[in-house]
A and B are shown apart, each in its own frame.
Chain A
Amino acid sequence: MSNNDLVTIAPQSVRLFHQSLFKTLVYFFLLILVLAGAYKAFPLVVDALFLIVIAAILTAVFNPVVDRLESSGLRRIYGTLLMFGGVFGLVALGVVKGIPTLLTEISRIKDVIQQNAATESLDAIMGNLNTRIAEYIPGFQLDLDLISSLSSQFFSQLGSVLAGALDTLATIIFILIITMFFLVDGKRMTKQLIGMVPNKYFEMSLNIIYKTKKQLTNFLRGQLLAALGVAIQSFIGLTLLNWIFDTNISGVLLISTIAGMANMIPFVGPFMGMVPAIIVSLFNNLGDPVAASHFYYILHIVGMFLIVQMIDNNIISPIVVSGSMEMHPLTVILLILVGSQMGVLGMFLAVPAWGISKVVIQEVYQGLKGHHLI
């Protein structure tokens, strides 16, 4: 190699180094721009994803109904509109009839808790209850302040959740519109999305999507049916208590609905459903000596909810809920603790969300294993 060659090679390598350095810097700059954009857009993306996930869950719930209507010869779009018409009708009826009663009931109970006079009567009730309890369990005392603050918290949280739901009516409408699109065009969307999957993973992805969708639909349908079962039984039970023992429990429909919805949370849910009934019975019967002699019907209510739970656990749930919800009690407690960081809604959604994720993970793992990819 001559000196001349060395001279020509050296500037070339320097040029190449500069080029690669320039490229690296440009890529680095672009990466920073992308990351900054993603950071800025992150809340928006999370919001959009949340709406899409809720719409997807609603689609999984409503899809069997639309499929059934389509199989009877109705075009899918008309089936979807018909179903939405029915759902809107029911929701409108619920809002018109239920919400005013609910808000009045909540504010009434909140007022009773906050008023000093009521607290004084409560003191008397608690004293009476503690004396009676001490006859059976010596040393056990119910703390009025704790119960009062818990009740107040429960109702103010419930009120804020409902008020929030009313405030975000636009979001609800938006979710329903997305759900409608998913119901009408969901199959085409899924087909286009899955069309992007490489050939190697195509069959497996198709199977995973199909099985997950099926499991998810079964799971959600089971949960909703079980919730409906508990709500109906609670309604019958509370009406019977009012009728037979004159327990004076108002807002039976609302309490039954809460009990049904809370039932979706295993272990803790049934107790959450019981609480509003006990509180309402306690406040509605203040100063009634007959009610006081019956512990304000607390035992009646607990007994009724235990019977509802027995029927649900032994008859309804085994029939309608698929086995995908089987979880260790410790897992449930941990999930509810994690969910509680996001408020009442978080507690409510934590267990079903984990149940759905479990189904998806199981299906993906089995799919990968079946196709010898892991």
Chain B
Amino acid sequence: MKDILNTSYPLFESFKNKLKPKRSQAQMALSQVNVFSRLSWQEIKIVENAIHIRNYAPGEPVFKQGDPGSGMYIIMEGCVGIFLDIPQQAPKQLSKLGDGDFFGEIALLDASPRTAAATALENSTIIGFYRPDLMDILKTKPALGGKILLALSEVLAVRLRSTNGELVKVSRKLETALESGTNE
């Protein structure tokens, strides 16, 4: 009986494969991002209809420091460098992001200027999901929009907690340094 169950039947396998839903590369990339990871495939498909897939050449800026923030980016293929422009100095590379990485998600909530620049380091295919797209989803699919907003708030909460932790560490270090300074 076990043998019968474990045997693979080519016709059945082919039928099973045909029934299996085909996921696009963009859908797979979106499902990896924490903002969309809890959405159903049906919902991810709606988000896929809203996103913009863009191609960047090496050295081409995705956005510049100081530009008004409009949305987030997810790297489908390629490599993007995050740079900090320092006056009268060469831009300082803060990080290098690759396939599946994402950046700029806070700009979905807030149009304040970008704090760093993002530049493609090689030929890259990047998904852009912008505030107008989110607003549109919120207007036409409020339940889905709410889920995305909740996930974004969670990202913000995690960042805030981690920033608080860092702040406590720094203030402790500062206190210790001040105390040792007074003792000396």
* Residues of A participating in the B interface, judged by any CB pair closer than 8 Å: 67, 70-71, 76, 187-188, 191, 194-195, 199-200, 202-203, 206-207, 209-210, 370-372
Q: Which residues of B contact A203 (CB under 8 A)?
A: 63, 67, 70-71, 128, 130
Residues on A with C-beta less than 8 A from B66 are: 372
Q: A188–B56 Cα gap in the complex (Å)?
A: 22
Q: How far is the CA of A188 from the CA of B135 in the complex (A)?
A: 16
Given the contacts A70-B140, A370-B67, A207 and B132 also touching, CB distance less than 8 Å: yes
- Residue B172 at the chain A interface, CB threshold 8 Å: no
Establish whether residues B140 and A202, one from each chain, have CB atoms under 8 Å apart when the complex forms. Answer: no
Is the CB–CB distance between B67 and A206 below 8 Å? no
What is the bound-complex CA distance between A297 and B134, given in angstroms? 57
Residue interface bits B50-87, CB-to-A below 8 A is 1, else 0: 00101010001111101110110000000000000000
Q: Known: A67-B140, A203-B63, A210-B132. Contact between A371 and B68, CB under 8 A?
A: yes
Q: Which of A67, A188, A209 contacts B139 (CB 8 A)?
A: A67
User: Is B154 positioned at the interface, with any CB of A under 8 Å from its CB?
Assistant: no
What's the tally of chain B residues with a CB closer than 8 Å to chain A? Answer: 24
Residue in chain B with minimal CB distance to A366: B68
- State the Cβ distance, A148 to closest chain B Cβ, in Å: 54
Chain B contacts for A371, CB-based, 8 A: 64, 67-68
Residue numbers in A under 8 Å from B60 (CB-CB): 199
Q: Does B165 contact A (CB under 8 A)?
A: no
Which residues of the partner chain A approach B91 to less than 8 Å between Cβ atoms? none
B67 touches A202 (CB 8 A): no
- When C-beta atoms are compared, the residue in chain A nearest to B55 turns out to be A199
**Does the CB pair A206–B54 fall under 8 Å?**
no
The answer to whether B70 and A207 touch across the interface, beta carbons within 8 angstroms, is: yes
Q: Determine how close the nearest CB of chain B comes to the CB of A80; give it in whole angstroms.
A: 12
Report the separation of the CA atoms of residues A55 and B72 in the bound assembly, to the nearest whole angstrom: 32
Residue of A71, A203, A372 ringed by the most chain B CB atoms within 10 A: A203
Q: State the Cβ distance, B133 to closest chain A Cβ, in Å.
A: 8
